[in-house]
Amino acid sequence: MIICGIKLTHDGALALIDDQQLVCCIEMEKLDNAPRYMHFNIEMDRLEQLLQQYGYSFNSIDRLVLDGWAPEEQITINLGKGNFPVKLAGYGSMVMRENILERQCFDMPGFSGLSYASYQHVAGHIAGAYCTSPFANQQEDAFVLIWDGGMYPQLFYFHHKTGSVENLGVLFMLIGNIYSIFSQHFGPYKVKEGVVNDQLSVAGKVMAYIALGELKPELLPVFRSIYDAPGQKNMQFANSFSKTFLQQVQGRNYRDEDILHTFHVFLEQLLVEKLTAKIKRYPGRQPNLCFAGGCALNIKWNSAIRNTGLFKEVWVPPFPNDSGSALGTACCEMITAGTNYALDWNVYSGPAAINNGADEKWITQETTVQELAQLLFEKNEPVVFLNGAAELGPRALGNRSILAPATDAAMKEVLNKIKSRESYRPVAPICLEEDAPDIFEPGIRDPYMLFDHKVRPAWKDRIPAVCHLDGTARLQTVNSTDNPVIYELLMAYKQLSGIPLLCNTSANLNGRGFFPDAASAMAWNEVNYVWCNNRLYEKTEKHSFQLLSPTYNTSI
């Protein structure tokens, strides 16, 4: 059975599943340097072209599935016959006791005889998280925690034997967007009254910014008293919570950085407290947890949950936010259609990188991974690295990355400058899995950059570019199976330098999706080298990055 899932709203995408195997997942932002969070905007001719690249056509699709959304919003689709409003299943801010995997069917407007299914948005997060998890492969049950922007944190339990989802209820009454809504009153995120900031992008920035602050323990009871105060906690509670806090601390001269840091800790403690209490009400269940929704991109919360010891394993997919919703709604249909709930998938299932665009300003030649490692070692400057199919989700995991040596503290400044990012933003390390425990704490396997790790003291001076202000790192580990090309590059670089990691940040224009081709990276014109599928493009008139000469300690 061939299933095509489509996410129409922000983070628009299509996912194609053929007999429980993921063929591809194409996020709109990863085509043509499109803006981040792009809606689904392709007509039938383009859709047909995309499917043909994988040997399929629109007519070969057995089941078409559209992700659910808020019913008050009018959503349209254009498949070459104009924009038509479509009916969708709901959002699921707080689901009650209904069948969470209820399948709703509709006729496609403008297409005689074409019908589609739709599932609640929350159901897509549940199915996408579970079906990609190791628990599905092991035929085990699992708790599934979903906390998305417009949702309260909700706990479910997936019963593998029956393919059914049990609703265990809400943990607490704060929607995921509270993190962004609260921040709009402080620091660089402060906005004028009545204006809402960009909630899709600001949360990740705040997570980095709080490293500038410190915990103020006396504020934790203030946050808790506001939350515990009697009164209705509806969808507007996030706004009233923020305004009440402002009133209570007015004139107390707290730094914005400290307030945001402490608020982060308050939410983390509340999440752990309520999750722990809820799990203890269900003894004897299999101690597996899937966590998805936009809040599952918060690496510190993920680590806090893992550190509770409540679970044998915590699984966070690399696309926990809405970038995984097309895949998730397709997984809902896969669950409904059969008895095998484990998706055969690979994180590198996005659009393929294209070699193109060389001109007189760039020279080009075939360059092996070993030769690229030599270049990184000798030149000590950033290289755009484009390889094969793009990674799924919002984080560059090696195939759409800017790579650079981490031995010079100034490299973080260089990377943030060429990316037009704030100076406090961290740069992630991409590291050989077998060496990670020696460099990071805990340093265990983390192939999707979704947990928090501390840089061990002995390594802080050796890899300063990937040390965040609080001494942590958003680590990605790589082994020979995860990404053989990156693994080969890191091995070669380690042999030369004694350092088994590189800086890794996303290769994209500011506010845009990943570079789709070499031409885009060259047109960006911020680096001297672009490597794409074993071909190196070298700028003839070089930028000067004014970095220190690298110094290496080859003993490891």
The total of other beta-carbon atoms located within 10 Å of residue 361's CB is 11
The reported pLDDT for the residue numbered 299 is 97
Instruction: Specify whether the CB–CB gap between 539 and 529 falls below 8 A.
Output: yes
Residue 366 has phi, psi (to 5 degrees) of -65, 135
Q: How far apart are CA 15 and CA 29, in angstroms?
A: 14
**Token code pair at residue 493:** 């670089």
CATH number, domain at 100?
Answer: 3.30.420
Q: How many domains does the chain have?
A: 3
Write down the residue that tokens 């914005």 correspond to: 256
10 Å CB burial of residue 555 (0-12, 13-18, 19+) is exposed
Dihedral sign, CA of 292, 294, 297, 301?
negative
On whether both 85 and 142 belong to a single domain, the answer is: no
The reported pLDDT for the residue numbered 554 is 46
Asked if residue 535 belongs to a domain, the reply is yes
The reported pLDDT for the residue numbered 533 is 97
**Predicted TM-score of the model (pTM):** 0.96
On whether both 83 and 142 belong to a single domain, the answer is: no
Instruction: Specify whether the CB–CB gap between 521 and 356 falls below 8 A.
Output: no
On whether both 69 and 52 belong to a single domain, the answer is: yes
On whether both 336 and 259 belong to a single domain, the answer is: no
Count how many residues are written for the chain. Answer: 556
Q: How far apart are CA 69 and CA 88, in angstroms?
A: 6
Residues whose CB falls within 8 Å of the CB of residue 234, separated by 6 or more in sequence, listed in order: none
Instruction: Specify whether the CB–CB gap between 399 and 388 falls below 8 A.
Output: yes
**Smallest Cα–Cα separation from 399: which of 414, 410, 384, 409?**
384
Q: How far is CA 353 from CA 406, 485, 532, in A?
A: 25, 14, 7
Asked if residue 458 belongs to a domain, the reply is yes
Q: How far is CA 37 from CA 29, 323, 376, 529, in A?
A: 6, 8, 32, 28
The reported pLDDT for the residue numbered 191 is 86
On whether both 69 and 187 belong to a single domain, the answer is: no
Q: Are strands 13-18 and 2-7 parallel, antiparallel or unpaired?
A: antiparallel
Q: How far is CA 209 from CA 189, 274, 318, in A?
A: 10, 26, 22
Asked if residue 448 belongs to a domain, the reply is yes
**What residues form DSSP beta bridges with 145?**
155, 291
On whether both 507 and 493 belong to a single domain, the answer is: yes
**Token code pair at residue 288:** 């597996």
Instruction: Specify whether the CB–CB gap between 387 and 485 falls below 8 A.
Output: yes
**Smallest Cα–Cα separation from 302: which of 318, 287, 286?**
318
**Smallest Cα–Cα separation from 123: which of 428, 335, 400?**
335
Cis preceding-peptide flag for 442 (omega within 30 of 0): yes
On whether both 473 and 496 belong to a single domain, the answer is: yes
Residue 399 has phi, psi (to 5 degrees) of -90, -20
Q: How far apart are CA 334 and CA 164, in angstroms?
A: 13
Q: Which amino acid is at 291?
A: F
Mean pLDDT, consecutive 10-residue segments, the chain of 556 residues?
A: 97 97 98 96 91 96 96 86 89 90 92 90 98 98 97 97 96 95 92 66 92 97 95 86 93 94 98 98 97 97 97 98 98 93 98 93 96 97 98 98 97 95 95 98 97 97 96 97 98 98 97 97 97 97 77 50
The reported pLDDT for the residue numbered 311 is 98
The range of the structural domain enclosing residue 418 comes to 362-539
CATH number, domain at 305?
Answer: 3.30.420.40
Asked if residue 551 belongs to a domain, the reply is no
**What residues form DSSP beta bridges with 357?**
none
Asked if residue 112 belongs to a domain, the reply is yes
On whether both 150 and 113 belong to a single domain, the answer is: no
CA-based Rg of the chain, rounded to a whole angstrom? 23
Q: How far apart are CA 133 and CA 236, in angstroms?
A: 34
Asked if residue 334 belongs to a domain, the reply is yes
Asked if residue 547 belongs to a domain, the reply is no
The reported pLDDT for the residue numbered 83 is 83
On whether both 174 and 310 belong to a single domain, the answer is: yes
